Amino acid sequence: MHIRLLAVGDRQPSWVDDAFGTYSERFPREWKFRLDTIPTVRRNKNDKSRQAMEAEGELINAKLSSTEQVVLLDERGKQLSSKLLASKLSEWQSDGRDLCFIIGGPDGVSDAVRQRADMMWSLSQLTLPHGMARALLSEQLYRAWTLQTGHPYHRS
């Protein structure tokens, strides 16, 4: 199974890249993990955010394979404990399909992207900057993998 993150926003602060890289570099090689970014659609001050969100949604859906398992990171999604995420990761690995996590743009994602998602996952009830969500996702995926393998990183 290959895992990737498809994220809107191609420029992040260096601390985001550092934190994201710290954990994603630890992922098992068989995941063949990669980050794909989509540039944030430019918003003019009189522009409706819905138009930009729809445009970003078209770009997201164009990059998705019809066979991928898609997990949308969304504040309205299901919250998971680290142990439950490890269990879900095992399910996804057993499914045999490649796995794609999506982080949308500053206004969220279009309805078309929501409909394409196999699952919506909320990292927190807090509103997180998108860069923080990237860093948190990579850490939690690493933690889930360590739980699966019995690595001592996770301490309950």
The reported pTM is 0.93
Query: Domains along the chain?
Result: 3-149 (3.40.1280.10)
**126-144: pLDDT as tens digits:** 888 899 999 999 999 999 9
Q: Left (φ > 0), alpha (ψ -120 to 50) or beta: where does 32 sit? A: left
**pLDDT value for 44:** 75
φ/ψ of residue 121, rounded to 5:
-125, 130
